[in-house]
Amino acid sequence: MDTSKLDVCFGGFTPMALGDGVSSRWRTLEAEERARARRAQLEAVAAIEAARASEVRERVDEAGAVWRYVVLDGAEVRVERCETRGPRLDVPAEIEGKPVVALAADACAFLPTVEEATCPDSVISVGPCAFRGGKSLREVVLSKALAAFDSDWFRGCPNVEDLTLPGRLAKLGPEIFDLPGLRTLRVGATAEEVEPGAFAKSRLERIEVDPSNPFLTTDGRALYRRDGRVLVALAVPGPEYRIGDGCRAVAKKGFSGFACLERVEVPESLELLGDFALSRTGISSFEAPSSLRRVGEKAFFNCSNLEEVRLREGLASVGANAFTGTALRELRLPSSVEELGHPLAAGTGLTYAGAAATFSIAAGSRLELDEAGGLYRKDGSGRRLTRMMDQGARRYVVGEGTLAVDEAAFANHAGIVEAVLPEGLEAVGKAAFKGCRNLVRVDVPSSLRSIGDEAFLDTGLASLRLPAALARLGANALVTRGAHHGAEEPSLREVAVDAGNERFYRVPGLLLERTGAGRSRVVLCTGDVAVVRIPEEVDEIAPYAFNGVAGIRELHLSDRITNVGIRGLAVDGLVELIHLDLVEPVFGHESFDIRFPDTDRGVQQIMLALSVPDHVDAAVLFEHYDNAIINGSSFDAESDRGLRTYDQAVRIVERLLDPVSLTPVNRSMCDRALRCGIEEICVDVARHDDRKTFDALMDLGYLNADNVHAVIERVAALQDAAMTGYLLEARRLRFEQAAPDFDL
C-alpha cells in the first residue's frame, strides 16, 4: 500500500514533502532555512566555548539576587553563579549592556527557595546541571533560542511540574519525563519530530504547542501533525480517548505503554495503525473502521485485557505479533486481507485447525486456511504454502497443487515431526523449516528443483532424498542442529541422490556439489563411514560440513582445498590419521601422514587445526601437531591421558629429523624438552629396546660425549645388558672412548 500520501514516517514522525509542486517547494525551502539556523546556532555555541573570558565579576539585581559572570570576548555574558533567597529567578537578558548568552555548569544550582525560573531568549547555551538541587523548583521557562534539552539540568528537582521546552528544540524524546512530577508541558515553535514512545512515561495533565509551530498541533490530549492527519502521540493519559476526525494514521507507539487507557474511539478516516500503536494499553475491545487498511507490527502487543477485535473488509495487512499477548477468544479476518505477519497472535490460545477453529479468513481472500491449519496464498504463479499456523501439528501433508513452501513457513515450529511435500512442488523457501527441532523426516517430491538458504537449519532431520531435478541447495540448508552448534552429533546421516542429478553426487560419507570447471565442494559429511576420502576435484568445504561429526578414524584431503567455510572441517574427537596430498612437493614430500596423539591436547589441536583456518595448509596442520606433542601433559593434572615420555620423545625426534614447517618457537621448545630430560628419555628408550631412537638422539647431538657416561650408568641400572652393551659400543665408535668398562 502506498503510504506516501499520508506524509508520515512510521519510524517516528517526520514531515515529508507533499505531492503538489507548490507545497513541496515551500517545505523544501523551509527545511533548508531550519538547517541553516541550526548550523548557525551550533557555530554560536562553539564560539561561546572557545571565547576568551574576563575575570569573574559580580552584580546584584533589584530582587537582591547576586549574579557572578564573565564577559566573553568583550561582547557577551556567561553567568557563572547565582545566589538568591527569593521564590522567583529571572535570568537577566543583559548585563553591562551585553546579552546573556550562556549559563555555566551549576550556574543556578542548589537554590532551595526558588520556585519559578525563567531564561531569557538570548540564552543559547546551558551547561551541565545548571538548575540541579532545586528542591522547591516547580515552573521553568527555557529560552526560545535554545535548541537542546538535557534532563540533567534539573537533576534533584523532584517537584518540577510546569516546563516550557526550548523554543528551537526539534525532536522531543523520552528524557523529558525524567522529571517525575511534570504535569504541564509547553512545546516550542520549531519542534517537528517526536521519538516513538517519548510520552510512554507521561503523567501530564496539560500540553500546549506554540500556535506558530508549522509541524505539530494538539487537542489538549495528544500531539497531531499540523493538518490533523497523523496522531503522533498521546501526551495526556486517561481512561479513554477519541481520535480526531480526519486523522488517517496513528504513528509508531502513538498510544504505547498507557495501561490506564481502556477505550479508544476511532474515526472512519483512519487507514493506518502504526507499529506498537496501542501496545501495552488497557483496552478490552477494538472495532476497526471500514477505512482501516493496515495494522502494524505489534500494534496490540501485550494488551492483556483485549478480548474482542472486529476487523472489516478493506483491511489489507496485519503485521507480525499484532495480537500477541492479548486475551483474544477469536479472530476473524476479512477476505480483503493479503498480508499476515508471523506470529500473529502468539500466547492467545487461538486455534487454527478443525471445524471449531477460532481463527478464520473470510472466503474470497487470496489467503486460505486449510482444515489442518496451513495458510496458503494464491497468486499469479499458483498456490503457495505461506505459513503453518497450527503450532500443535506433528505431521502435515502439504496440499495438492502447491508449487512452493514459502520463506519461514514452518520456522521455529515446536511440534512438527514430519512433513510430506506433494508432487508438483518445485521450491522449499529460505528458512522454511529453520529451527524445527523435532522435525526428523521430510518426504521430498521428484519435482523439487530448489531448496533455499537455511531451509532445514537447526532441525533434527535424519534422512533426505535429493531428486534428480534438484538444481539448487542454498547455504546452510542441510546444517542440522548438531552440525550447527557442535554440542551433539549431526542428525542427518542418510542423504540419497537420485540417478540423473547433474549437480549433486555422493561418495562414501560425503554429499558433494559440482560447482563448474571440473571442481566440486563438500556440502555435508554424513558421518556414516570411518574413513573419509575427499575427492581430488574438491576445492571447497561448505560451512559446518563436518562440524560435530564423530567417529572419523582417517581423513584424506588435499591442499587443493582453498576455501573452507566456518567450522567446515570441525570434526569431533580424535582422527587417528590425517593424510594430506600436496599439489606441489614440499622438501621432496608429495604427501604427509600426520597422526595426532590420543590425548585431550591432541584432540583440541586437531579441532583448532581443522576448524579455524579458511583453507587446508600443511604448515598449519604441523604447527598444531607440534603443539600437541610438545605440550604432552593432560589438561587435568590428575589425568593419565597425557603423552608418555617415550612417545613424546619419539615424536619430537621424528620432527627434528624432518622439520617440515617446524616454527622457530616450536623448534626451540622441542630442543629444550630433549636437552632437559635426556637421561629420563634414554631410560624410557632403553626400556622399549629402541636402538633407532638412540641413534637419532646421537645424530641430533642430544646424546653426546658429555652425557653418554651418565646415560650408560642409568641404563645399566635397569640390568639390561643388551642395551647397555649397545650404548658402550656406540660410545666407543662415536665418541672415541675405547677404554674397557669393568662396570659392565
Q: What is the DSSP string of 682-716?
A: HHHHHHTT-HHHHHHHHHHTSS-TTTHHHHHHHHH
State the cell numbers at 341.
505477519
CA dihedral (46, 47, 53, 57) positive or negative = negative
The pLDDT assigned to 53 comes to: 84
Checking if the pLDDT of 111 tops 90, the result is: yes
Cβ-Cβ contacts under 8 Å for 623 (sequence gap 6 or more): 609, 661, 663, 666
Instruction: Say how far apart CA 177 and CA 600 lie, in whole Å.
Output: 58
Instruction: Say how far apart CA 511 and CA 524 lie, in whole Å.
Output: 5
Residue-averaged pLDDT of the chain:
92
The pLDDT assigned to 48 comes to: 77
Tens of pLDDT, residues 55-70: 999 999 988 999 999 9
The pLDDT assigned to 366 comes to: 93
Q: Which of the two residues, 684 and 33, has the higher pLDDT score?
A: 684
Spatial contact of 84 and 66, defined as CB atoms under 8 Å apart: yes
132 in a structural domain: no
The pLDDT assigned to 314 comes to: 96
653 in a structural domain: yes
Q: Using DSSP, state whether 531 is helix, strand or coil.
A: strand
Instruction: Say how far apart CA 716 and CA 722 lie, in whole Å.
Output: 10
Contacts 24+ apart (CB under 8 A), 500-508: 500/468, 501/466, 501/467, 501/468, 501/469, 501/470, 502/471, 503/470, 503/471, 503/473, 504/466, 504/470, 504/473, 507/533, 507/535, 508/532, 508/533
Cβ atoms within 10 Å, residue 691: 15
The torsion region of residue 110 among left (phi > 0), alpha (psi -120 to 50) and beta comes to: left
Amino acid at 725: G
Whose cell is 512530577? That residue is 181
738 in a structural domain: yes
Tens of pLDDT, residues 71-94: 998 899 999 999 999 999 999 999
The pLDDT assigned to 14 comes to: 41
The pLDDT assigned to 457 comes to: 97
End-to-end CA distance of the chain: 102
393-399 mean pLDDT: 96
Instruction: Say how far apart CA 697 and CA 606 lie, in whole Å.
Output: 28
414-443 mean pLDDT: 96
Q: How distant, in Å, are the alpha carbons of 359, 390, 553, 629, 651 from that of 643?
A: 65, 56, 19, 7, 10
The pLDDT assigned to 34 comes to: 64
Cβ-Cβ contacts under 8 Å for 207 (sequence gap 6 or more): 184, 185, 186, 187, 218, 220, 221, 223, 235, 236
Instruction: Give 19's pLDDT tier (boundaries 50, 70, 90).
Output: very low
Bridge partner list, 521: 513, 540
State the cell numbers at 546.
563436518
Tens of pLDDT, residues 608-644: 999 999 999 999 999 999 999 999 888 777 666 788 9
Spatial contact of 513 and 473, defined as CB atoms under 8 Å apart: yes
Selection from 201, 158, 214, 205 nearest residue 186 by Cα: 205
The answer to whether the bond into 467 is cis (omega within 30° of 0) is: no
| Range(s) of the domain holding residue 660 | 644-744
In 313-410, which ranges are E strands? 317-318, 331-333, 339-340, 359-361, 367-369, 374-379, 382-388, 395-397, 402-405
37 in a structural domain: no
Q: How distant, in Å, are the alpha carbons of 278, 307, 358 from that of 331?
A: 17, 10, 6
**Domains in the chain: how many in total?**
1
Instruction: Give 379's pLDDT tier (boundaries 50, 70, 90).
Output: confident
Instruction: Say how far apart CA 580 and CA 583 lie, in whole Å.
Output: 10
Element (H, E) at 366: none
Q: What is the 3-state secondary structure (H, E, C) of 19-32?
A: CCHHHHHHHHHHHH
31 in a structural domain: no
In 17-108, which ranges are E strands? 57-60, 66-72, 76-83, 88-90, 94-95, 98-103
743 in a structural domain: yes
183 in a structural domain: no
Secondary-structure percent of the chain, ordered helix, strand, coil, rounded to 5: 20, 25, 55
CB-count exposure of residue 587 (10 Å: 0-12, 13-18, 19+): exposed
Spatial contact of 249 and 270, defined as CB atoms under 8 Å apart: yes
34 in a structural domain: no
High-pLDDT (> 90) share of the chain, %: 86
Instruction: Give 470's pLDDT tier (boundaries 50, 70, 90).
Output: very high
Checking if the pLDDT of 299 tops 60, the result is: yes
The pLDDT assigned to 635 comes to: 79
